[in-house]
Amino acid sequence: MDTRVLNYFLTVAKTGNVTKAANKLHITQPTLSRQISDLEKQLNITLFDRTNRHLRLTKAGTFFKKRAELILELVSQTEKDIHTQESELSGIIRIGCVESSASTWLMKIIKKMNHHFPNVQFDIYTANGDDLKEKLDQNSLDLALLLEPIEAKKYNYLPLPIHDTWGIITTKDDELSKKKAITTDDLSQIPLAISARSLVRNELAQLLDLNINKLKIIATHNLASNPLQLVKAHMTYLLGIDGILTLHHDPDLTFIPLIPKTTTSHIIAWKKNTYLSPLTKKFLKLISDELNQK
């Protein structure tokens, strides 16, 4: 399948109009229409709903759009990786990162890599573990900094000696801020914002012997930055790790650990049975050396 045609298709999908897309691509409208028609025949599907003047993707077209974007991204990354092998070490490392204290550590490693190899660039993507693992599976990321637990059968990984503690984040003027620790009974009596990840919830439930269904959950989230605003508005408490405040330091907020003490560890993961560029291998070597020194 010609990547040029994939680019034609994505341009039409973005503009919703063949004429506008043709102008943007600097080709004629009949040529572009013929290329899209040939693509549909090749795939034996209808990519666009042509019932009105503005082209809309069909269900099959929406699916194909995601795959076309992934294919072009992989082609582009492959070209960059080949260039990396044939010239001075340069290129892009695509790193996914959760919000935790370990991300601060990772940024220091990135700084070291930049010091040794100033031509290297970093594409840093912040998200929760589910999103990061999906992008690893799609080869949209080279590496990901994740909180445990993960499905170890799918990934290679390096364990990191960095641990975050679970607890609640609240305002310093809140009544609970005077407590040294939060019990499971406390959790069942207060409104909470909690991670949307079922894997995290199940892990907490098991460690704390806690019935998640009995909690008063006001909001779920994939990243903690916005729910922290609900905490500041005295609407809810954030059930999360202390590393969140390490990243989003706010003098009005405080962290109270859970009792019994509950911690989580970190890993650097990459997909099994996948090609690692020399650049990514060099970065992993830097991480490994740093861990061995400690």
Secondary structure element (H or E) that encloses residue 281, with its range: helix 278-293
For residue 149, what is the DSSP state?
P
Mark which of 81, 104, 137 sits at the end of a domain.
Answer: 81
pLDDT for the residue 83:
58
pLDDT tens digits for range 162-200: 999 999 999 999 999 999 999 999 999 999 999 988 878
Q: Is the pLDDT of residue 273 over 60?
A: yes
Q: Are residues 211 and 152 in the same domain?
A: no
Specify whether 142 is located in the same domain as 279. Answer: yes
The pLDDT of residue 294: 63
Domain boundary, last residue among 81, 110, 137: 81
* Residue 148 sits in the same domain as residue 286: yes
Q: What is the CATH number of the domain that holds 182?
A: 3.40.190.290
Question: Do 168 and 52 share a structural domain?
Answer: no
Please tell me whether residues 108 and 230 are part of one structural domain: no
- Answer whether the bond into residue 118 is a cis peptide, omega within 30°: no
Q: 101 and 108 in contact (C-beta within 8 Å)?
A: no
Per-residue pLDDT, 143: 97
Are 176 and 212 contained in the same domain?
yes
* 150 and 278 housed in the same domain: yes
- CATH number of the CATH domain containing 76: 1.10.10.10
CATH of the domain at 105: 3.40.190.10
Q: Which residues of 205-240 are buried (b: 16+ CB within 10 A; e: fewer)?
A: eeebebeeeebeeeeebebbeebbebbeeeebbbbb
Asked whether residue 39 falls in the same domain as residue 109, the answer is no
Residue entry with tokens 């998200």: 127
Please check whether residues 64 and 133 belong to one and the same domain: no
**Shared domain check, 122 and 149:** yes
User: What is the residue range of 234's domain?
Assistant: 164-263
The percent of residues above 70 in pLDDT, for the chain, comes to 96
Query: Does 28 score more than 60 pLDDT?
Result: yes
Question: Per the structure, how many domains does the chain have?
Answer: 3
Contact 283, 102 (CB under 8 A): no
**Is residue 41 located within the same domain as residue 101?**
no
Note the pLDDT tens digit of each residue in 84-94.
Answer: 554 467 789 99
Mean pLDDT of 264-287: 91
